A and B are shown apart, each in its own frame.
Chain A
Amino acid sequence: MYDFTGLIQGINKWLHSILPAVAADVVGWILIAAAFLGLFAILGLVLVLAERKIAAFFQLRLGPNRIGPWGIFQTVADAIKLLLKEPVGTNRADSFLYNLAPYFVIIAALMSMSVLPFAKGLHAYDIDIGVFFVIAMSSLGVMGILLGGWASNNKYALLGAMRSGAQMISYELSVGLSILTIVLLSGSLRMSDIVASQSDYWFIFKGHIPAWIAFMIFIIAGTAETNRTPFDLTEAESELGAGFHTEYSGLKFAFFFLSEFVNMFIIAAMGAILFFGGWMPLHIGGWDGFNHVMDFIPPIFWFFGKVSFLIFLIMWFRWTFPRLRIDQLLTLEWKYLLPMNLANILLMAFIVLMGWHL
């Protein structure tokens, strides 16, 4: 019903009809890049506001409420302020690496966003190794944080970066393995195939208990991967100043902040695509009337609804769990999540072998 393939092809055809072939291609690329950069910036603004409003809600406060109705322009004002601030850094930094670090985090986040399917036919690049590509890009983001922390020549920043390196690479294993559990069910790494194979039931229902275990591991490891509380040792305001971005200010700091929130969106989107059927509506076998009503809701709303729910869950964690110590953090990953994950993969492989998945 709601298919974007025609619309995208229509725009492409129209561009080709009014421009020579090469120019039409280039204009198309610029349009796509501009759309994604716009989405990137809007996500940053909306998620920062949501974070502050939800924090206020959990603490019985009002949150930002001065600029615009319910303070909805607060983050726009913040962004302008960050742009106009003098970038105060340190003259002892390794200036080339210090300036390079924001490029790493932003480009890694942008490139992993480019392979996400938002609705049927609405994706920039339906790469055949989609899931693997996102894992690869997220490990590129770690490099930006390590570079930034090391190049700052500040003890707080170095401590934050080293902790972050240990934490993010450890939890990357769990993210990768819990994604693999779902790849077993779909038999494909392509994002659109993964979504399409959930058109009857979502994988979290198809995979029985192992899928639930994989989802829990995924959301824990995803929270750690994005450096959010309770795993925010990287920043740990009360002990490290601001962690790896202590020496960054103004817009350079804003880039780190933005990438943190966009990474949270990417983790939530991956969770929605892998476990909750991406843009597929909720279907219950036999309930035809119900299924028709669900089909009527456009897929883009399903996608963003699921993503918002997972983001809310991650923000909820922040106000529920206290911060872990670094040894507890590594114990949790290496002694509990990793062995559990390996056993879970075997269990899921057995279910697939016996054909017990729906």
Chain B
Amino acid sequence: MGAEAIVVFFIAGLVFVGGGAIAAKLLSPKSTNPDKWEPYESGMKTIGSTWVQFKVGYFLIAILFLIFDVETIFLIPWAVAMKKVGIVAFVEIVIFIVILGLGLLYAYKKRAFKWE
């Protein structure tokens, strides 16, 4: 199978979930009790809105992830070519990872990993 596998598996997933959802809709019983459709909150009615401002720490982690994930993308072609290129690749990656490590150190000093 060639690249069409991606499309085939995508469609297979759609059919699997969609078919399951339709089958469940046809087979399952229905009842209409308004309280059943309230958000689950351990028996209490929900107070206020759910979609509120959230702790900024999560977004900080997301930004850090973005930086380091892009660095990983740069590392992948290097890892594939390392065996063929040899000493030049090694020296370059030492410089690259030292810079990356300095970035990590900076984030650490700025207390980005402190959860407070």
| A contacts, CB < 8 Å to B | 28-29, 32-33, 36-37, 40, 83-92, 99, 102-103, 106-107, 110-111, 114, 124-125, 127, 132, 150, 152-156, 158, 162, 165-166, 169-170, 172-173, 176-177, 180, 183-184, 187-189, 241, 246-247, 250-252, 254-255, 326-327, 330-331, 334-335, 338-339, 342, 345-346, 349-350, 352-353
B2, B41, B61, B86: which contacts A125 (Cβ < 8 A)? B2
Instruction: State the main secondary structure of chain B at its contact with A.
Output: helix
A84, A86, A330: which contacts B61 (Cβ < 8 A)? A330
0 or 1 for each of B66-83: is its CB under 8 Å from A? (1 = yes)? 001100100110011111
Q: A173-B69, A252-B21, A350-B90 are in contact. Are A106 and B37 (CB under 8 A)?
A: no
Q: A92-B39, A330-B61 are in contact. Are A345 and B97 (CB under 8 A)?
A: yes
Q: A169-B65, A173-B69, A173-B72 are in contact. Are A106 and B23 (CB under 8 A)?
A: no
0 or 1 for each of B27-45: is its CB under 8 Å from A? (1 = yes)? 1111100001111111000
Q: A91-B37, A189-B80 are in contact. Are A110 and B113 (CB under 8 A)?
A: no
**CB < 8 Å A-B pair total:** 197
Nearest-neighbour CB distance to chain B for A91, whole angstroms, equals 4
Docked Cα-Cα span, A250 to B16, in Å, equals 15
0 or 1 for each of B94-111: is its CB under 8 Å from A? (1 = yes)? 100100110010011000
Task: List 12 additional A-B contacts (Cβ < 8 Å) besides A84-B29, A107-B13, A331-B115.
Answer: A124-B9, A127-B5, A155-B39, A158-B50, A176-B69, A176-B72, A251-B20, A252-B24, A326-B115, A331-B113, A342-B100, A352-B83
Tell me whether A153 and B37 are in contact (CB under 8 A).
Answer: no
Nearest B residue (CB) for A176: B72
Tell me whether A88 and B36 are in contact (CB under 8 A).
Answer: yes
Using Cβ atoms and an 8 Å threshold, which residues of chain B touch A250?
24, 28
Q: How many B residues touch A, CB cutoff 8 Å?
A: 69
- 21 examples of A-B residue contacts, CB within 8 angstroms: A36-B9, A83-B24, A86-B28, A102-B17, A107-B13, A107-B14, A124-B9, A166-B58, A166-B61, A166-B62, A172-B65, A173-B72, A176-B69, A180-B72, A188-B80, A241-B42, A247-B39, A251-B20, A255-B17, A345-B93, A353-B90
Q: A84-B27, A255-B20, A353-B90 are in contact. Are A187 and B83 (CB under 8 A)?
A: yes
Nearest A residue (CB) for B42: A241
Nearest-neighbour CB distance to chain B for A184, whole angstroms, equals 5
A162, A334, A338: which contacts B58 (Cβ < 8 A)? A162
Using Cβ atoms and an 8 Å threshold, which residues of chain A touch B61?
166, 169-170, 330
| B contacts, CB < 8 Å to A | 1-6, 8-14, 16-18, 20-21, 23-25, 27-31, 36-42, 46, 50-51, 54-55, 57-58, 61-62, 64-65, 68-69, 72, 75-76, 79-84, 86-87, 89-90, 93-94, 97, 100-101, 104, 107-108, 113, 115
Nearest B residue (CB) for A335: B113
Using Cβ atoms and an 8 Å threshold, which residues of chain B touch A162?
54-55, 58
Q: A87-B24, A330-B61, A339-B101 are in contact. Are A183 and B12 (CB under 8 A)?
A: no
Most buried by A among B40, B79, B89, B94: B79
Tell me whether B41 and A154 are in contact (CB under 8 A).
Answer: yes
Docked Cα-Cα span, A33 to B7, in Å, equals 11
Tell me whether A103 and B13 are in contact (CB under 8 A).
Answer: yes
Docked Cα-Cα span, A187 to B77, in Å, equals 10
Nearest A residue (CB) for B77: A189
Most buried by A among B13, B37, B42, B61: B13
Docked Cα-Cα span, A211 to B40, in Å, equals 46
Nearest-neighbour CB distance to chain A for B113, whole angstroms, equals 5
